[in-house]
Amino acid sequence: MWVRDVMRRDVAVVGPETPLREAAERMWNSCRLLLVVGDAHGIYGLVTTRELVLGAEAQAQGYLAGAVGDVARLDFVFTHEDETLENLARRMVHAGARRAIVIDEELRAVGVVSPLQMASPDVVGRASEESFPASDAPSWTGTMAG
């Protein structure tokens, strides 16, 4: 399977200077739980609801965390739509990344892949079917072939 088969295409990009409150409003209004942080010069990170809450708490305690660039996550990898999920999964594990940002030829964010998309029933079922023939069940299933 390919990244294009599972990626979320409705990605929202906000600039690193976007205030936390504005980012939270954008998340709420768009029903997205993740924003890509970037601008015309590049992609800098990801912001989830968790980072917004932690940033607001830091702000309340007097720390300088007023914009999404201050709280953006850096645990991601870049990918393209034509990468296999197997290869992407291997790279994500190796990098300790929780998400992959799908970019196009102009290096713009066009999608996101998370473990949730990679573990959908369709993907897992299809991967299982492709991994071994139906007549040769793996030992962990507890069934005997033939």
pLDDT digits (tens, 9 = 90+) for 78-129: 999 999 999 999 999 999 999 999 999 999 999 999 888 888 666 555 555 5
In a domain, 46, yes or no: yes
Kindly state the DSSP code that residue 136 receives in the 8-state scheme: S
In a domain, 57, yes or no: yes
114: in domain: yes
Its domain, for residue 26, covers: 3-131
Quote the pLDDT of residue 130: 54
Please check whether residue 95 lies inside any domain of the structure.
yes
Residue ranges of alpha helices (H) inside 32-135 are 49-60, 68-71, 85-95, 115-118, 121-131
Taken as a whole, the chain contains a residue count of 146
Q: Place 139 in a pLDDT band, splitting at 50, 70 and 90.
A: low
Domain total in the chain: 1
Are 99 and 46 within 8 A, CB to CB? yes
Answer yes or no: is 139 within a domain: no
The per-residue pLDDT for 68 is 94
> Residue 99: helix, strand or coil by DSSP?
strand
Evaluate whether residue 8 is within a structural domain.
Answer: yes
Global confidence as pTM: 0.76
> Which pLDDT band, with edges at 50, 70 and 90, does 141 fall under?
low
